[in-house]
């Protein structure tokens, strides 16, 4: 059995699922999801909900008893836990992310294993890309306004732009850590794309529609996609992925919108700086795929 702990928004949940799915696939074992984090209320942490149920995932929800089994192997911080860590803790059974960049040792783990961390790079699942793409398809068919916009996307030289603000601006701690992509970044990215693509049509997705409409005005046809509210973020991600090209924010949500784009000739522009302020040990070199343009 492989259990992966889910936390954060849809984009983070997808990375956490993908690494678990890769290990389960390699070992012909089942994947289960620990969704207990969504029942917790933590200070300075943006409240989140379980969102993978909207996708064609191949996993079960782990029981409290199953999760409890793994917790006894978790390393604990502090000198007083020295003997406990030496005798009981096992990083091959309870595996926590040691750092932010790719850790190849994770892919050598054998079940039973519990995964706890953020695994933000395609290197953890690139070799099962076809499986991940299939399982991250939205369950329900396009309908209503989503279908109308999808039809426009399919018949234009479409470029999806994602603008992430919300808690990146409203929550001081989150803002200090992540930072936001400023207007200048989007203007430079738009200028770059328009030099490469004839007659582009921009589709702008955001969690701050008022700011997007006030500040981002490409000199080409533009559609502001602002109808998906609340827990319908996965619909925005699907529409983003249908665009031929993308300009993304420093957000795992828009990362997946670009990665799921199946256009072999896609242009993806991503921010050079993924975090605003981080510890020197946080290396983001593996976040952006090599074929994407950093700006």
Q: Please say whether the beta carbons of 266 and 244 come within 8 A.
A: yes
Question: What pLDDT is recorded for position 275?
Answer: 86
Please give the residue range of the domain that contains residue 117: 2-135
In a shared domain, residues 38 and 161: no
Could you give the CA distance from residue 52 to residue 21 in angstroms, rounded to a whole number? Answer: 13
Encode 266-280: b = buried (16+ Cβ within 10 Å), e = exposed. Answer: bbbbbbeebbeeeee
In a shared domain, residues 280 and 198: yes
In a shared domain, residues 114 and 217: no
In a shared domain, residues 218 and 112: no
In a shared domain, residues 90 and 23: yes
In a shared domain, residues 158 and 290: yes
> What CATH number does residue 284 fall under?
3.40.50.11350
In a shared domain, residues 96 and 233: no
In a shared domain, residues 164 and 279: yes
In a shared domain, residues 129 and 192: no
In a shared domain, residues 185 and 279: yes
- Write out pLDDT tens, residues 107-128: 999 999 999 999 999 999 999 9
Could you give the CA distance from residue 100 to residue 172 in angstroms, rounded to a whole number? Answer: 22
Query: What is the model's pTM?
Result: 0.93
Q: How many domains does the chain have?
A: 2
- Sheet of 94-96, strand order: 60-61, 31-34, 2-5, 113-116, 94-96
- Given 87, 111, 135, the domain boundary residue is 135
- Given 135, 165, 191, the domain boundary residue is 135
- How many Å from the N-terminal Cα to the C-terminal Cα in the chain? 41
Q: Is the pLDDT of residue 167 over 70?
A: no
- Given 135, 159, 174, the domain boundary residue is 135
- Write out pLDDT tens, residues 222-260: 999 999 987 899 999 999 999 999 999 999 999 999 999
In a shared domain, residues 98 and 156: no
Query: Which structure tokens are listed for 55?
Result: 């996708």
Average pLDDT value for residue range 178-203: 94
In a shared domain, residues 162 and 248: yes
Q: Is 119 helix (H, G, I), strand (E, B) or coil?
A: coil
């Amino acid at each position: 059995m492989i259990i992966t702990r889910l936390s954060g928004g849809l984009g983070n949940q997808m990375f956490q699922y993908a690494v678990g799915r890769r290990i389960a696939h390699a070992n012909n074992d089942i994947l289960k999801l620990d969704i207990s984090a969504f029942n917790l209320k933590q200070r300075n942490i943006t409240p989140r909900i379980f969102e993978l149920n909207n996708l064609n995932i191949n996993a079960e929800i782990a029981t409290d008893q199953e999760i409890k089994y793994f917790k006894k192997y978790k390393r604990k911080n502090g000198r007083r836990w020295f003997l406990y860590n030496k005798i009981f803790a096992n990083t091959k059974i309870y595996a926590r992310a040691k750092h932010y960049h790719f850790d190849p040792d994770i892919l050598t783990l054998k079940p039973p294993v519990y995964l706890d961390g953020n695994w933000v790079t395609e290197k953890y699942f690139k070799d099962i890309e076809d499986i991940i793409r299939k399982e991250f398809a939205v369950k329900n068919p396009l309908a209503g306004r989503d279908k109308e916009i999808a039809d426009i996307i399919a018949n234009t030289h479409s470029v999806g732009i994602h603008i992430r603000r919300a808690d990146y601006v409203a929550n001081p701690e989150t803002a200090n850590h992540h930072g936001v992509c400023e207007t200048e970044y989007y203007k430079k990215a738009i200028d770059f794309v328009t030099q490469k693509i004839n007659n582009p049509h921009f589709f702008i997705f955001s969690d701050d529609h008022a700011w997007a409409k006030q500040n981002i005005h490409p000199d080409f046809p533009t559609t502001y996609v602002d109808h998906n509210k609340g827990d319908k973020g996965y619909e925005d991600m699907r529409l983003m992925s249908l665009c031929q090209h993308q300009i993304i924010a420093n957000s795992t949500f828009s990362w997946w919108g670009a990665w799921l784009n199946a256009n072999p000739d896609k242009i993806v522009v991503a921010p050079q700086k993924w975090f605003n302020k981080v510890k020197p040990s946080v290396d983001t070199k593996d976040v952006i795929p090599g074929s994407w343009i950093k700006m």
